[in-house]
Amino acid sequence: MSGSTIIFYLLAAITLVSAVLAVTTRMIFRAAIYLLFTLIGIAGIYFWLQYEFIAAVQIVVYVGGIVVLIIFSIFLTQQAGDLLPKPTIGRQLFSALAAFCGLALVMLQLVQHSFTPTNNKAIEPTVANIGNQMLGVDDNGYALPFELVSILLLAALIGCIVIALKSKPSEIINNEQGTRNFE
């Protein structure tokens, strides 16, 4: 086993263990920290694949943006030591079924796809080439996934606002005049 293979398995193990811990812990601050290590592990895999630009974007956008925003909203509400509610058995079964179906779909796609070698020269991973690929709308473009990432960032912002709310949204407007209660 070469050193490169050991590094890959180490990065993959860090990423997977952190991801499992992020979704199984009941401490909200620890879940955010485990998410941080998961995203850093993914950036490490990008560095290992020699995609430095994508790794830097991973660190800046996800680690530097989303995770810091989540941690800030947790500290803003002073809920760092609070326990998350224990999930019900039905929710756990649904989550396990959804994860199994997702894994089954990925495995089905991998089995059905024919991986054929090519003699075409690989595209140089420069910033200009990556930008052209990400914003392209042709067969080799990634405009749709690029827009989906922006929706993910918007969902993270909305999630942080929900975490930062000190009371339930139905309790914010609580009197006859409709004034907001910011206590």
- Domains in the chain: boundaries: 3-86+125-172
**Of 75, 37, 32, 83, which Cα lies nearest the Cα of 58?**
37
Of the ranges 9-13, 51-55, 60-64, 66-70, which one carries the lowest mean pLDDT score?
66-70
CATH for 3-86+125-172 is 1.20.120.1200
Q: Tell me how far apart the alpha carbons of residues 183 and 180 are, in angstroms, rounded to a whole number.
A: 9
Share of the chain above pLDDT 90, in %: 25
CB 157 within 8 A of CB 68: no
Angle at 152 between CA 149 and CA 155, to 5 degrees: 155
8-22, 112-126, 169-183: which has the highest mean pLDDT? Answer: 8-22
Q: Tell me how far apart the alpha carbons of residues 131 and 162 are, in angstroms, rounded to a whole number.
A: 33
Going from the C-alpha of 9 to that of each of 46, 70, 96, the distances in angstroms are 13, 28, 25
Structure tokens at 26: 């009941």
Q: What is the pLDDT of residues 101-138, one digit of tens each?
A: 999 999 999 999 888 888 888 778 788 887 887 787 77
pTM recorded for the entire structure: 0.64
18 pLDDT band (50/70/90 cuts)? very high
